[in-house]
């Protein structure tokens, strides 16, 4: 069957175009897909990295005969002007900053498995990133107000909220692939039932509701059949021992650090009667430490190894340089990201449904309007339209809502420079709250000091 | 390409199964489609008519080799028990009742082009139908709480609201095809541009927002291109003279009565900068008489001819009897209704998007939560999920909201038997309001008297 | 009993300090009261008038030995800086402008009894006044952000809304005495029952809900007894013939023009089962012309006589000049206004409850949040706090809400300079709607032209 | 000055009329006041206790020449029929039940200073009391739908919510005196400033916002002056050492157990910039244990001594019996309760403002509608009308809202018998959450078992 090709060339502005992760994946997917003619403008403060990606991207296009060209933009304005799409994938701080986000709380007895979403690390990371995203939002208002904008930067909820706070008419969504993990398990269950490898995760339609990295699924349909009851049974069966489709390769350091055994997912499913749909490391951070973080080894997941992140980053950079210098390109394969499908749908290709982060307009009942929630949305020529997703169970809703409200209040406090509201909000996080208000105040002071070089003066920083 | 067939047989309970219109269309579409194995249970107070339809339906199935069987249910409970789908298509009163709905207001100087949605006729029709639908809703709660329920009965907004008022967890939607009229025009414009018959109305994706029979479209996309600006240009060009794709056949009495020249549609588009998407006869009734109804001939549309309706009904019944008795069946063609596509999507077939009536959960911004609105919804294994549709222009929103709020208040007043609230609500309709409160009170009294045989005693009737 | 005196001198900035009506009443009430030491700064574009009032005010203070001084402020900023209270009583346009507001609609068949609140006259008056009030609101934000602000200018709802739109934290309320008219009737009924002149209108506590000039009362308590049932009986009894406590003096032109016979009030009470609480001339304008305006003579009230207004204004100015020149002052009597009581309460005197106009924060259930509503509020050292007032009957709520939403939408459209939204909003007014959209468009064009010298260019004016 | 006397005798139904605390105080206050002629009907399951109170009440009336009579009602219906006022002051369980509410959590490491509001004790107490209050609400709907209903029973928020859930039109409020504690301190500060005992707590008007036992005050006015800044200064000054107007009498066991040194109040004031207005023992329970409960001795407050409660109850009963038998009555003094003032205002006496618990209709911005909040309300012939109170600081609002939402969800879950929702709600309490989900589940099981004799079967009990 011939693939449907979008007829006219689209322009994509990539903010953070020197990225070693997301940009690489997008370039690969565009090369794999070959039906979306595009001009990609890479913009990055690190011009060398942007140039390197432009070179690699061009090589990938050539190799797969895709009508995708890559240029480097000199300025944000140059990248944005007349863009059809904008991708935002920046790093709010270096790995040193991330290290501080983890190590300072550690000294106060707070364990973080990721540290970039909620908890003390996520909070302070949001503090430094919100002004950056707000600035990008204002540039988009000025130079590309009709562009579709995909944010890939964490903390996703707060930063998508910052874009909307800066430019309420922005056509932005926050994109994250964590829910894919649950879809893989359901596909495995469906295949087990039919006795063969028939379904991929792409055949699993899930009804998503919650907030980024703390998402839930109350229906998971494969071929008209709802597998949620089967999943809940499976969770009960494997709750104690955990389960993975394939064992962790002990030689693979990445897997050792970042893969899990679904024990947190299964435990949450048993407690709340709904499937949790993100990696265990992410889920654990939204709940008091006594739930999972204190026993992370028993629950089979690790804490963020900034040291490994450093080595991994160096290795990725080394490989990118090698490719730039002429080394063989990796084979072009499709990633699990939805980005290219979303772009094509918006450009007039086949409609596409995936879970994204958007301000709540009612799609999650019981959550306040305006907070950023994650649900399915439909991408089509009509735009990005969230689908009504229903409501979370009562006890869980209380936990989710509290995080969403704190994220929203944090965005407002940062943008309105209400410094005095920050500590009370910080204090109300369930990872922070148990250490008591005095410790929390001291810890907050240290964290703000450590990241001060990226914080505006009005919020206690040095900018 | 092979059609995707839904694997297991679904059960459809059809309330009003003796219907001469909707039932016939559904039976034809099921026969045409051939991919949805179904058992259809027809239930009707008029058992003879239900039996006749069962016979005709069975003949259609046979003729087209569709796996669809028809039975007649003896009771509502028998029809509903274990049904996967419920269709509601009843007549709230006879053509004599409808005649009174039109002729009494006529004597008070109020012209109605349809009389079944808003205005005095729509109001009184709702008064007698709301208790009927509430009763059906309660039966569904008792016997088929998980069934998907499609309401086809007018007044659509009020009656869909009555179902939800009676059973808040009902999986119901209100189905109406009026928006198709606009999609046909846009398809014509798209074809004109490419210079050939390339697009059908099915290729036109529209973003629908409003309330039933007073719906609007702010985006109409064909192949990735938004034709709304082209449509607005066309409306400005043809505003005075009107336009139809094909001329009205003077020999066709139906066309003479019910077809229009899009003059109301074009006029509204010019005034509000958005496309109105229903037949002119429907649109006109939502606005004061001075706008269109007073000059309906100049605007090229007619007032409801109950007399023709009587002859038409008799003719349809005659034909049905003839088919039952062995006359040749009509050729099996696909209608423009979305019903079969919706059922298949819910049963695990390909996802389907169409505009339907649902309680507002936020899909139309600026409209109160809970009032019944019309927007696109996605039908899939995940259920019926409304898509966020945006907001109407300010001046228009005021008109739409007022109707929606009156419909909601009417449903509540009828179900809570608050008789004293009825006249003030009746009075607030823009067709009624100008005749003044005393005339309105007298007219309301006459209408209630005329339809009293179908009204509960607590609301001034004789039941 | 000794009067409680507020100890320290308060500063009152009076914007529109040359006023011949409101300023005179405030000066008289301050002189009568003698317990509120005040410095009153009069500011007016007409400096001569402000100076004249300062002179008269000083004479009144002297005569009654009140510690109130009057000065003339050279600029808005000078008046506002450090003010404790701000009074806003300006004229949005001259009597010529008002004349156009009335006469142009008259030519299109629209009768207006006042023309300054809703209907075409109120709408266009709001269009020119909203930017003025927004400017004052911004000056208050800059120079007196903590001041209590009393707005006396019509259209009250729209203009109080404009103050809040310009400065959301403003401590403003809109003040109007129309409800007093109902309290007088209830006092008369209470006195009739006890057989003596025991109660004044001040003894009647009413629960007010609605919007300015279209307010309603669902409880009217004198000495613990609710007289609403008695009032409704009285309204039914006097509905046809009307009633006044004292006959109209045929020699009194003011009375002939502005007094009514409560026929509209009684008629509304009978229709909706709740007491309408404003002058008949005001109430009539919120409903279609067929209700009362078409038969205003039969209903015993007159249409706005701009000609009389001109003579009355000249006469008031003549008297003011005479007083300035040394003519005898009028005797100092207490007016029926609540202003001084409100100021004293806010300054630490006894708490005070009266009906005022404020953005809805829930005090009127069923009305959207943020629209300006009229209910009781409590004035005390704690500030101005609206009292929860309950909900209007369903049919009436629909009418009230529609006006409130139009006012709110108008304020937003004017301040955001969305010119295209104005005509659709204008069209949706029940006095305008029946003349049809073409007439309405023409009439709107003429009215905007006539008042163009006071309208910003962006809205079709010449400023 | 002559006291204003309410003219006609009112009927008060007292549910829980054998009470040793509240009933005694009300009887004393009625005797002290002497201006409210009343017939008080005492109803109690413990008829002996009700009879004893009737005897004591009659003696008090006689002694002070108050027109108040006391009878014992045989049934709830007999007590309620035609009552003007209803007082509800029941015990949801015995001291043994309360003992279990405290001791079981203690074994899991959870300290509770009161245990009747939030935390595990408050939760389980609510579970058994909600059905009782709902039953009383339904009886009121049947027999006294127009009566004003004062609830004195804890947990106040949940139980006031239960009354409204059972009968949405109930005229009920929840009454609590904790805020008085802050008003005493402010009076002390005001007296210190003027250098004499001039002001009593009754002269302090406070703006209250929050939920019962976790209330806050953002304005505290004495004679027109806001003392909140002075209070915050004082809190900062005394934060470490604490402060009391008078030292605790070491011989007074009650004081030793229940009095505090305002250290929690002062600490919260410093952290959030707003005054906390309840006893320290109450405030502490709304926050994680690490804040105050873990160091309750350092913070100068005690944990609930059920043992003392037992001795105190026995002593009170002994004294009541003695009075019944003829012992000397205590001198009639005015308590600090607002009840009699509220009743008189509702009966037509002078208006009265005090802080009460009511469903949120907007009086606390930022809190969801419908949750029970505590703010000022005005009592008058117009009824009980909450006053708009504003909004809490962002970080604090998050904590308060979470408790309010849990209380509301708990009421719904209990009344709708959704047993599975209880544990997740229990788990989300900040005192419970840190012990982890497994411990929480076990603890909940034990507590439900212990109180099972008062719990409906559908919720895991034995009724």
Q: How confident is the model at residue C6 (pLDDT cuts 50, 70, 90)?
A: low
Rounded to a whole number of angstroms, the distance from the CA of B425 to the nearest CA of chain C is 4
Question: Do the chains contact at A290 and D436, CB–CB below 8 Å?
Answer: yes
Q: Are D127 and D64 in contact (CB under 8 A)?
A: no
Q: Distance between CA B346 and CA B385 in Å, rounded?
A: 11
Out of D221, D349, D362, the one facing C361 most closely (by C-beta) is D362
pLDDT tens-digit profile of D44-60? 999 999 999 999 999 99
User: Does A375 contact B at CB distance below 8 Å?
Assistant: no
| Residue A317 C-beta-side C-alpha neighbours within 13 Å | 11
Q: Could you identify the residue written with the tokens 């411990």?
A: D439
pTM of the predicted protein model? 0.95
Q: Among B335-344, D6-15, D219-228, which stretch is predicted with the lowest mean pLDDT?
A: D6-15
Structure tokens belonging to residue D303: 């944990």
R_g of chain D, CA atoms, integer Å: 21
* Binary contact (A435, D396; C-beta < 8 A): no
Q: Tell whether the model's pLDDT for residue A330 goes beyond 90.
A: no
A-D CB pairs within 8 A amount to: 90
> C210: which strand partners?
C215, C374
Residues A188, A227: contact at Cβ < 8 Å?
no
Which residues lie closer than 8 Å to C296 by C-beta, 6 or more apart? C111, C113, C284, C302, C303
Q: Is D395 near chain A, with CB under 8 Å?
A: yes
For residue B247, what are the contacts with CB-CB under 8 A and spacing of at least 6? none
Task: Please state, in angstroms and rounded to a whole number, the distance separating the CA atoms of residues A90 and A93.
Answer: 9
Task: Determine the pLDDT at residue D3.
Answer: 46
Residue B228 DSSP label: H
Of A398, A413, A437, the CB nearest to D394: A413
CA distance linking residue B410 with residue B129, whole number of Å: 12
User: How high is the pLDDT of residue B1?
Assistant: 32
Residues in chain A within 8 Å Cβ distance of D411: none
How much of chain D is helix, strand and coil, in % rounded to 5? 45, 15, 35
Which residues, other chains included, contact D421 with Cβ-Cβ below 8 Å and sequence gap of 6+? A393, A394, A395, D409, D413
Quick check: D21 pLDDT over 90? no
From the list D7, D221, D387, the residue facing C385 with the nearest CB is D387
Q: Which residues of chain C neighbour D205 with C-beta distances below 8 Å? A: 380-382
pLDDT of residue D7: 65
Phi, psi of B197 (to 5 degrees): -90, 85
Interface check for A427 against chain D (CB to CB < 8 A): the answer is yes
The pairing of strands C68-72 and B68-72 is unpaired
- Measured CA to CA, the distance from residue D73 to residue D83 in angstroms comes to 12
For residue C5, pLDDT beyond 60: no
Q: Helix and strand tally (H, E) in chain B?
A: 16, 15
Residues paired with D38 in a beta bridge: D10, D68
Tokens of C281: 């001339």
Report the pLDDT averaged over residues D102-127: 97
C-alpha A153/C-alpha A175 separation (Å) is: 9
| pLDDT 10s digits, D345-382 | 999 999 999 999 999 999 999 999 999 999 999 999 99
The two tokens of residue A35 are: 């039906």
Q: How far is A167 from chain B (nearest CA, A)?
A: 17
Largest Cα span, chain A = 65
Neighbours of chain C (3+ CB pairs under 8 A): B, D
pLDDT 10s digits, C365-422? 999 999 999 999 999 999 999 999 999 999 999 999 999 999 999 999 999 999 999 9
* C-alpha dihedral (A360, A361, A365, A366), degrees to nearest 10: 60
Per-residue pLDDT of chain B (463 residues), as tens digits, is: 334 456 689 999 999 999 988 888 999 999 999 999 999 999 999 999 999 999 999 999 999 999 999 999 999 999 999 999 999 999 999 999 999 999 999 999 999 999 999 999 999 999 999 999 999 999 999 999 999 999 999 999 999 999 999 999 999 999 999 999 999 999 999 999 999 999 999 999 999 999 999 999 999 999 899 999 999 999 999 999 999 999 999 899 889 888 999 999 999 999 999 999 999 999 999 999 999 999 999 999 999 888 899 999 999 999 999 999 989 888 888 898 999 999 999 999 999 999 999 999 999 999 999 999 999 999 999 999 999 999 999 999 999 999 999 999 999 999 999 999 999 999 999 999 999 999 999 999 999 999 999 999 999 999 8
Q: How many whole angstroms separate alpha carbon C293 and alpha carbon C422?
A: 25
C91-to-A380, C16, C162, D340 alpha-carbon distances in Å: 53, 8, 15, 49
**Share of residues in chain C with pLDDT > 70 (%):** 98
D433 near A CB under 8 A: yes
Q: Do B436 and C290 touch (CB under 8 A)?
A: yes
Under an 8 A CB cutoff, do B395 and C430 touch?
no
Of C290, C413, C433, the CB nearest to B394: C413
Contacts of A245 (CB under 8 A, 6+ apart): A184, A185, A188
Q: What is the mean pLDDT of residues C145-168?
A: 98
Nearest Cα of chain B lies from the Cα of C304 at a distance, in angstroms, of: 22
What is the per-residue pLDDT for B463?
A: 87
How far off is chain D from A120, nearest CA to CA, in Å? 15
Q: Give contacts of A388 with chain B, Cβ < 8 Å.
A: 361-363, 385-388
Residue C217 pairs in a beta bridge with C208, C275
Cβ pairs bridging B and C (under 8 Å): 88
Question: B362 and A353: CB-CB below 8 Å?
Answer: no
Radius of gyration of chain B (CA): 21
- Rounded to an integer, what distance in angstroms lies between the CA atom of residue C167 and that of residue B110? 47
**Residue among D348, D361, D386 whose CB faces C225 most closely:** D348
- What DSSP string runs through C219-239? EEEETTEE-HHHHHHHHHHHT
Point out the residues of A that are catalytic. Answer: 177
Residues written for chain D: 463
- Kindly give the interhelix angle for C156-166 and C119-143, rounded to the nearest 10 degrees: 30
Cβ atoms of A218 and A181 within 8 Å: the answer is no
From the CA of A1, how many Å to the nearest CA of chain B? Answer: 10
SS3 A76: helix
**pLDDT-based confidence at D5, cuts 50/70/90?**
low
- Cβ separation C425–B394 shorter than 8 A: yes
Confidence check: pLDDT of C450 > 70: yes
Q: How far apart are CA A187 and CA A197, in angstroms?
A: 9
Closest CA to C227 of C191, C271, C263, C197: C191
Band (A124; pLDDT cuts 50, 70, 90):
very high
Q: Are B62 and B92 in contact (CB under 8 A)?
A: no
Q: Indicate which residue of B177, B184, B257, B296 is catalytic.
A: B177
Q: Which residue of A has its CA nearest to D392?
A: A421
User: B380 — contact with chain A (CB < 8 Å)?
Assistant: yes
- D345 in reach of chain C (CB within 8 A): no
The CA distance from C434 to the nearest CA of chain B, in Å, is 6
pLDDT the model gives residue D1: 32
Q: What is the mean pLDDT of residues A344-360?
A: 96
For residue C288, the chain B residue with the least C-alpha distance is B434
Which chain D residues touch A271 with a CB distance below 8 Å?
Answer: 424, 437
Residues of A in contact with B169 (CB under 8 A): none
Q: Which residues of A56-73 are buried (b: 16+ CB within 10 A; e: fewer)?
A: bbbbbbeebebebebbbb
* DSSP conformation class of D4: P
Closest CA relative to residue C401, chosen from B417, B4, B368: B368
In this complex, which chains have at least 3 CB pairs below 8 Å with chain D? A, C
Is A2 near chain B, with CB under 8 Å?
no
Nearest to A343 by CA among A19, A101, A13, A82: A13
Confidence of residue A126 (pLDDT cuts 50, 70, 90): very high
Q: Which residue does chain B place closest to C404, by CA atoms? A: B398
Would residue D403 show up in a list of annotated catalytic residues for this protein? no
C-alpha distances in Å from residue D13, one per residue of A463, D49, D153, D163:
67, 15, 15, 16
DSSP, collapsed to helix, strand or coil, labels residue D222 as: strand
Contact between C303 and C111 under an 8 Å Cβ cutoff? The reply is yes
Mutate to test the interface with B, among A357, A360, A381 (most CBs of B within 10 A): A381
Per residue in C67-99, pLDDT (tens digit) is: 999 999 999 999 999 999 999 999 999 999 999
Query: Is C114 an 8 Å CB contact of chain B?
Result: no
CA distance D360 to chain A (A): 16
Residue C257, CA distances (Å) to A59, A229, C178, C314 in order: 87, 76, 16, 17
Chains B and D touch (3+ CB pairs under 8 A): no
CB atoms inside a 10 Å sphere around CB A118: 30
Residue of C nearest to B437 (CA): C291
Average pLDDT rounded to a whole number, residues D181-203:
96
**Interface with chain B: mutation pick from A351, A385, A391, highest number of B CBs within 10 Å:** A385
CB atoms D433 and A395 under 8 Å: no
Please judge whether C381 and D351 are an interchain contact, meaning their C-beta atoms are less than 8 angstroms apart: no
B440: nearest CA partner in chain C? C291
User: In this complex, is the C-beta atom of B283 within 8 Å of any C-beta atom belonging to chain C?
Assistant: no
Chain D interface includes C42 (CB < 8 A): no
pLDDT digits (tens, 9 = 90+) for D142-190: 999 999 999 999 999 999 999 999 999 999 999 999 999 999 999 999 9
For chain A, say whether D424 makes contact (Cβ under 8 Å): yes
Average pLDDT, chain D: 95
* pLDDT reported for residue C365: 97
Which range, of A18-22, B127-131, C199-203, averages the lowest pLDDT?
A: A18-22
A394 interface with B at CB cutoff 8 Å: no
Residue D438 has pLDDT above 60, yes or no: yes
Residue D342 in contact with partner chain C when CB distance is under 8 A: no
Residue in chain A nearest D433 by alpha carbon = A288
Give the Å distances, CA to CA, from A297 to A71, A345, A412, B120. Answer: 46, 43, 37, 71
CA distance D453 to chain A (A): 26
Q: Which residues of D touch C376 (CB under 8 A)?
A: 382, 385
- pLDDT level of residue A2 (50, 70, 90 thresholds): very low
Neighbours of A117 (CB within 10 A): 28
Choose among A207, A348, A383: nearest Cβ to B382.
A207
d(CA B454, CA B131): 10
């Amino acid at each position: 069957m011939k693939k449907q090709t979008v007829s006219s060339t689209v322009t994509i502005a990539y903010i953070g175009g020197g990225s070693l992760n997301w940009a690489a994946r997008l370039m690969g997917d565009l090369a794999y897909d070959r039906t979306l003619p595009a001009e990609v403008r890479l913009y990055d403060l690190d011009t060398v990295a942007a140039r390197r990606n432009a070179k690699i991207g061009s090589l990938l296009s050539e190799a797969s005969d895709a009508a995708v060209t890559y240029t480097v933009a000199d300025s944000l304005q140059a990248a944005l002007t007349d863009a059809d799409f904008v991708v935002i994938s920046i790093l709010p701080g270096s790995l040193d900053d991330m290290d501080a986000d983890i190590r300072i709380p550690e000294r106060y007895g707070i364990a973080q498995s990721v540290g970039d979403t909620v908890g003390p690390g996520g909070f302070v990371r949001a503090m430094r990133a919100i002004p950056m995203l707000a600035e990008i939002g204002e540039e988009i208002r000025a130079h590309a107000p009709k562009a579709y904008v995909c944010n890939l930067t964490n903390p996703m909820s707060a930063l998508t909220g910052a874009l909307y706070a800066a430019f309420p008419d922005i056509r932005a969504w926050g994109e994250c692939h964590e829910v894919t993990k649950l879809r893989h398990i359901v596909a495995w269950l469906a295949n087990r039932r039919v006795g063969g490898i028939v379904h991929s995760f792409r055949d699993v339609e899930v009804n998503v509701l919650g907030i980024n990295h703390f998402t839930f699924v109350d229906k998971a349909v494969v071929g008209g059949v709802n597998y949620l009851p089967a999943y809940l049974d499976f969770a009960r069966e494997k709750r104690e021992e955990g389960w993975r489709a394939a064992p962790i390769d002990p030689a693979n350091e990445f897997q050792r650090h970042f893969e899990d055994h679904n024990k947190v997912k299964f435990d949450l499913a048993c407690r709340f009667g709904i499937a949790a749909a993100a990696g265990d490391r992410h889920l654990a951070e939204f709940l008091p430490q006594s739930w999972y973080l204190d026993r992370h080894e028993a629950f089979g997941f690790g804490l963020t190894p900034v040291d490994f992140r450093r080595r991994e980053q160096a290795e990725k950079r080394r490989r990118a340089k090698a490719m730039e210098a002429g080394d063989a390109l990796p084979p072009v394969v499709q990633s699990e990201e939805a980005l290219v499908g979303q772009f094509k749908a918006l450009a007039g290709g086949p409609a596409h449904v995936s879970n994204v982060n958007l301000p709540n307009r009612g799609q999650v009942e019981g959550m306040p309007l305006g907070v950023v929630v994650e649900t399915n949305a439909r991408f089509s020529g009509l735009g990005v339209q969230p689908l009504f997703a229903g409501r979370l169970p009562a006890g869980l809703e209380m936990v989710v809502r509290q995080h969403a409200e704190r994220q929203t209040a944090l965005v407002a406090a940062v943008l309105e420079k209400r410094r005095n509201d920050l500590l009370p909000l910080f204090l109300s996080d369930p990872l922070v709250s148990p250490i008591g208000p005095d410790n929390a105040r001291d810890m907050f002071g240290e964290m703000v000091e450590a990241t001060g070089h990226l914080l505006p003066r009005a919020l206690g920083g040095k900018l």
